[in-house]
Amino acid sequence: MALQIPILKIEEFLIVSFQTELSDREIEELRESILEKIKEQSARGLIIDITALGVIDSFLARSLSSIASMANLLGAKTVVVGMQPAVALTLVELGLRIRWNLATALNLEKGLALLRKNLREEVTSLG
Amino acid sequence: MKKLAKEKELTEELSGLLEEHASDLKKQWVKEMTEMGLLEKLTPVEIDQQSTAIYDTCVLTLKTGVYEAAKKYAREMARKGVLEAMTVEQIIMGMLKLRDVYGRFIFSKYQGDPEKLNEVLGIYEPVANRILSIVALAFVEEREKSIKEQQRAMLALSTPVLQIRDQILALPLIGTIDSARAAQIVEQLLNSIVATQASIVIIDITGVPVIDTAVANHLIKTIQAAKMLGADTIITGISPANAQTLVTLGVDLSMMTTRSTLRAGVKLADEMLRLEVVEKK
């Protein structure tokens, strides 16, 4: 069954919003379609919205981390937005076992601002 | 079996005697307590009510061998402060006095028959001792309960999260930080971050007397959790002594942004948000 998670585009960025908990298989499928879409749109940034998730298991945490690294190779910076306090606490407790190298922002708006800022800085540092 | 039956018989005899002489003994008891100055702040009506209630409860306990009524009464006495006008010491002294009054009464009744006196005392004394310990325990329990309640209240009061700008939260920590409190601090802080959508948190630890590895770990976890929500944390107010301890302990604080004072922390936060405070023209 095909996944029903839309990948939206705004400016040069992609937005993916998790609305329900996904199975490990679905997460892998989603990862592939996100990466495809980044390449297809030559996106410069990816925002993953997890406001609706009350639980993040170690698999999803690792997957988010690897999606970020992969997207980075394709030229897109990743920001995770809208994490719930309980989720953050769990991840910190799991902290020793999971590599978490993702940028985070409080909400979509701030996530977008962060990506724009990164983009500007990159351009100035290169130029 | 025979022994039990005899004990029962003696118990009934004794409680019967105490009931029979209730009014005399009670008067004697109240008189002695008054002489000791234990009842100064009670009205005659109160004295009469309370002494009757206590006297009856004691006799009932002796008669039935069931301590529930005594426990209930003692707890009530401790909780409601039925005898508000009396200190704990006075109440215990009063109960000891009652024990004496009973004891002397028993002596006078059975002094002609030392063997029986011995047996009656064997029945009476454990009951009297147990009642006294119930009364004392009720007060201790009550006091412990109120101490726990106060601790809880203090815990709730001890971690105010203040919003000092649209985007900046301040969390002044005062007092020692143990695991329970650390957990509460993190939770409260994270909830405030989400509620206010603030992107910078300043944790001021001027009021934390000792910072050891455990406290440092709690701080690091707090910072990480806030970071995951998307908020940066600035730690301010580490005293020179604490700085030395932390370095000596080898705690890695490289991921902490620190400033000496809360003022410097606010300034840094303003810079991070590209805010500027300018005097009005």
pLDDT at B8 over 60: yes
Q: Quote the pLDDT of residue B204.
A: 93
Residues of B in contact with A85 (CB under 8 A): 187, 190-191, 193-194, 225, 229
Quote the CA–CA distance of A82 and B230 in Å, as a whole number. 8
Nearest to A110 among B224, B228, B230 (CB): B230
Contact B190 A91 (CB under 8 A): no
Each residue's pLDDT tens digit, B73-110: 888 877 766 556 677 788 888 888 888 888 888 888 88
Nearest to B221 among A81, A83, A92 (CB): A92
Q: Do the Cβ atoms of B94 and B86 come closer than 8 Å?
A: yes
Nearest CA to CA, how far is B132 from chain A (Å)? 50
Residues of B in contact with A100 (CB under 8 A): 228
Each residue's pLDDT tens digit, A29-88: 999 999 999 989 889 999 999 999 888 888 888 888 889 988 888 888 999 999 999 988
For chain A, domains (ranges, CATH) are 7-126 (3.30.750.24)
Quote the CA–CA distance of B174 and B266 in Å, as a whole number. 19
Each residue's pLDDT tens digit, A77-97: 999 999 999 988 888 887 644
Query: Average pLDDT in the B203-230 region?
Result: 87
Contact A85 B230 (CB under 8 A): no
Q: Is A98 on the interface with B (CB under 8 A)?
A: no
For B111-249, where are the alpha helices, taking DSSP H only?
A: 114-157, 179-196, 213-229, 240-249
Q: Quote the pLDDT of residue B83.
A: 52
Q: Is B219 on the interface with A (CB under 8 A)?
A: no
Entry pTM: 0.60
Closest residue, chain B, to A108 (C-alpha): B230
Quote the CA–CA distance of B128 and B96 in Å, as a whole number. 9
Tell me which H or E stretch contains A115.
Answer: helix A108-126
CB within 8 Å of chain A, chain B residues 174-203: 186-187, 190-191, 193-194, 197-199
pLDDT band at B232 (very low <50, low <70, confident <90, very high): very high
Nearest CA to CA, how far is A73 from chain B (Å)? 22
Q: Is A41 on the interface with B (CB under 8 A)?
A: no
Q: Quote the pLDDT of residue B135.
A: 85
Contact A105 B194 (CB under 8 A): no
pLDDT band at A1 (very low <50, low <70, confident <90, very high): very low
Residues of A in contact with B198 (CB under 8 A): 106
Query: Average pLDDT in the B20-42 region?
Result: 82
pLDDT at A14 over 90: yes
CB-neighbour burial class of residue B184 (10 A; exposed 0-12, middle 13-18, buried 19+):
middle
Q: Quote the pLDDT of residue A2.
A: 54
Contact A85 B225 (CB under 8 A): yes
Nearest to B199 among A83, A100, A110 (CB): A110
Q: Break chain B into its structural domains and give their ranges.
A: 2-152, 162-272
Report which listed range, A93-107, B134-148, B260-274, is most confident: B260-274
Nearest CA to CA, how far is B273 from chain A (Å)? 12
Query: Average pLDDT in the B42-59 region?
Result: 81
Quote the CA–CA distance of B191 and A29 in Å, as a whole number. 33
Nearest to A83 among B191, B198, B228 (CB): B228
Nearest CA to CA, how far is A74 from chain B (Å)? 24
Which class does domain B2-152 fall in?
mainly alpha
pLDDT at A124 over 70: yes
Residues of A in contact with B272 (CB under 8 A): none
Q: Do the Cβ atoms of B102 and B125 come closer than 8 Å?
A: no
Specify the length of chain B in residues. 281
Closest residue, chain A, to B196 (C-alpha): A106
More confident: B202 or B34: B202
Strand arrangement of the beta sheet that strand B200-207 belongs to = B162-165, B168-174, B200-207, B232-236, B257-259
Each residue's pLDDT tens digit, B149-206: 888 777 766 778 899 999 999 999 988 888 888 888 888 899 999 999 999 999 999 8
Structure tokens at B149: 């309640």
Hey, which CATH number is domain B162-272, 3.90.180.10, 3.30.750.24, 3.90.1150.10, 2.60.40.2470? 3.30.750.24
Tell me which H or E stretch contains A36.
Answer: helix A24-41
Number of C-beta neighbours around residue B271 at 10 A:
10
More confident: A82 or B253: A82
Quote the CA–CA distance of B252 and B247 in Å, as a whole number. 8
Q: Quote the pLDDT of residue A96.
A: 46
